[in-house]
Structure 1
């Protein structure tokens, strides 16, 4: 491109990233941070050379059908791309990039925080203190469950799953995993991890389950009502991936019936809406999709977006180009 490309950013990004974008490109920022309406998104794709959306934006066939011919790059601010119609983007010659790798440690930290908080009833205890109803220590007060020695089943043993495994191993958990393909023997040995080819068999034998696979058509409701009923009644489910991977209504029913011990959820099936029945349960910890919400992580994400755009503008293939590979043999990454 001989002139600076018009880059339209859909949400407020960290100040250092926005400053650098303004230096490099002809950029339209969203200083109010109000999510784009579908009409605003349509207007953006009609004008932009590069679109920088986030995971809260829905970029479907209807939106992409209105894109101007110069829109050739969607540089997503985030790792997940389930909100973008990748097939239509590819048909229209639009490259899609994301920001992989930089959120691994932050998300794994949040997974471990929930893994500790749910069995030990930390959220319940905090509410008791704030309510002013705590009457002091008691031998049987606020009893939770020890995690040391328990079996952890990780669903999706990619970068985040492996980072969770390293942390969990240090806390004395026995590591098990199910993945689209078995990881390297050396990594298995390092993590002391046991591979389960059958997800159903693993679900039935774990004390804690951590969902770390992406949301794709192949993983939608991967934890279905049938599969959730295989889980032990004392087991806990942690989800820092995507809400759509779990049948949320089925999870609520089983939690209400005492057929699942508890859950720690950082993501929800219909965000930002949260199932009101979840709010009524004491055995769940609910967080507002903040697994990757660190200052360092957000700046690192922005740096990746900048590199992807600059590389594209300079006529090269962006380093984080998304390759659509959603066959049945590629459930988890």
Structure 2
């Protein structure tokens, strides 16, 4: 069989090569002409999969190594009998650790303690739920907003978005990109939202660029709105609004979910699903290719926010990615280049921590450290 794989999906290439001939192509350059004799298509979010791409091709399976599905025309795929699978939750841990790195960076820069803040989480799927759990471990108050879950009867202490806007010090977004209907999220953060938002708030977007109206956000900042912003996703990617990048605290090129562990989990999910699709009894469960070397840190004092911040930034310091993008964003193709060669980031589990304090050991273990 022939399988077309986005060339930037390193672990996917290595796994699927066991099953047949692999055709590699840049995700932005995949067209219908490339798919006439292809059995399976494995993509990232940069490839829109719809009738325009797949009509009258031989593709019977589409795998997307992403949590989101807004780049997939699910209705058309279903009607056309094309099996599709994504990898929800594969990058949840990576995104949550990215957020913590950003928050502790801001805490150090502006002199606050995270435990004194209220965090509003908009969208409580895999990422939002995990973020809430870890914040609870640190005794940080959270407010949750997820209208579809609330209406569906999901158990939770749900709040309206207006309450989060008025009361939460930090607002972090984890919603799909939906353009219309009762749960539309496109331009959720717009002129009206920003006008209602009190000063000295923190906004974080790691879901989809279009959830924030980038021009509205730039206008607010240029007009003196006193808010702090962390953006990993942008409208019009891979082109980004450069004045906005230079106006915010942290800007990165859509890499919040791009840990080595997250990429491996996504590859395993799609590979196992495809084996099931073609009725092959082969399942990958172990973390293949995961670098075995773990970092080591011995703690000699009781765990507090400063020490936890040091541990988190010893694994991943968001500021380095921010500086790299801001220093090079005007170079042609840098956004895509950064993502393509972004391979070395690890998760907290790669850090082995030793402490004499049993209570601290338990907290660190529950947070995800080894």
Q: Return the alpha-carbon distance in structure 2 between the equivalents of residues 181 and 62 of structure 1.
A: 32
- Please give the residue correspondences for 1:96-107 in structure 2 after superposition, counting only pairs within 5 Å: 96-107=84-95
Residues 45 and 216 (structure 1), Cα distance of their counterparts in 2 relative to 1, 3 Å cut: farther
**Aligned residue in 1 for 2:173:** 211
**Aligned residue in 2 for 1:154:** 121
**Aligned residue in 2 for 1:303:** 268
**Aligned residue in 1 for 2:52:** 62
Q: Return the alpha-carbon distance in structure 1 between the equivalents of residues 198 and 27 of structure 2.
A: 40
Q: Does 1:238 align with 2:204?
A: yes
Q: Does 1:45 align with 2:35?
A: yes
Out of 195, 216, 228, which is 2:158 matched to?
A: 195
| SS of residue paired to 1:237 | strand
Q: Return the alpha-carbon distance in structure 2 between the equivalents of residues 35 and 27 of structure 1.
A: 14
What displacement does 1:208 show? 0.6
What displacement does 1:228 show? 2.4
Alpha carbons 1:8, 1:48 under 8 Å: kept: yes
Out of 64, 68, 71, which is 1:76 matched to?
A: 64
Alpha carbons 2:27, 2:43 under 8 Å: kept: no
What displacement does 1:260 show? 4.3
Residues 96 and 120 (structure 1), Cα distance of their counterparts in 2 relative to 1, 3 Å cut: same
Out of 3, 20, 33, which is 1:7 matched to?
A: 3
What displacement does 1:263 show? 0.5
Q: After superposition, what is the alpha-carbon deviation per residue over 1:289-308, rounded to whole angstroms, capped at 9, x for unaligned?
A: 11111111111111111111
Computed over aligned residues only, the root mean square deviation of the Cα atoms, in angstroms, reads 2.2
**Aligned residue in 1 for 2:190:** 224
- Higher RCO (Cα < 8 Å, 6 or more apart): 1
Q: After superposition, what is the alpha-carbon deviation per residue over 1:37-67, rounded to whole angstroms, capped at 9, x for unaligned?
A: 2xx42223322111111111123442233x4
Structure 2's unaligned 5+ residue stretches are 282-370
In the TM superposition, structure 1's runs of 4+ consecutive aligned residues that sit over 6 Å from their partners are: none
| SS of residue paired to 1:23 | coil
| SS of residue paired to 2:216 | helix
Alpha carbons 2:120, 2:145 under 8 Å: kept: yes
Q: Return the alpha-carbon distance in structure 1 between the equivalents of residues 83 and 187 of structure 2.
A: 28
Residues 120 and 274 (structure 1), Cα distance of their counterparts in 2 relative to 1, 3 Å cut: farther
Alpha carbons 1:155, 1:209 under 8 Å: kept: yes
| SS of residue paired to 2:177 | coil
Residues 260 and 119 (structure 1), Cα distance of their counterparts in 2 relative to 1, 3 Å cut: farther
What displacement does 1:315 show? 8.9
**Aligned residue in 2 for 1:93:** 81
Q: After superposition, what is the alpha-carbon deviation per residue over 1:69-127, rounded to whole angstroms, capped at 9, x for unaligned?
A: x3221111212121222232223222221011221111111122222223543xxxxxx
What displacement does 1:18 show? 2.4
What displacement does 1:158 show? 1.4
Alpha carbons 1:112, 1:167 under 8 Å: kept: no
Q: Does 1:116 align with 2:104?
A: yes
Q: After superposition, what is the alpha-carbon deviation per residue over 1:185-223, rounded to whole angstroms, capped at 9, x for unaligned?
A: 5xx5xxxxx420x21232122111010112233221222
Compare 201-210 and 254-263 and name the one that shifted more.
254-263
Out of 292, 313, 317, which is 2:278 matched to?
A: 313
Higher helix share: 2
Out of 19, 23, 26, which is 1:28 matched to?
A: 23
What displacement does 1:13 show? 2.4
* TM-score between the two structures when normalised by the length of structure 1: 0.75
Q: Return the alpha-carbon distance in structure 1 between the equivalents of residues 129 and 118 of structure 2.
A: 15
**Aligned residue in 1 for 2:328:** none
Q: Return the alpha-carbon distance in structure 2 between the equivalents of residues 260 and 93 of structure 1.
A: 51
| SS of residue paired to 1:229 | helix
Out of 178, 184, 199, which is 2:145 matched to?
A: 178
Residues 50 and 152 (structure 1), Cα distance of their counterparts in 2 relative to 1, 3 Å cut: same
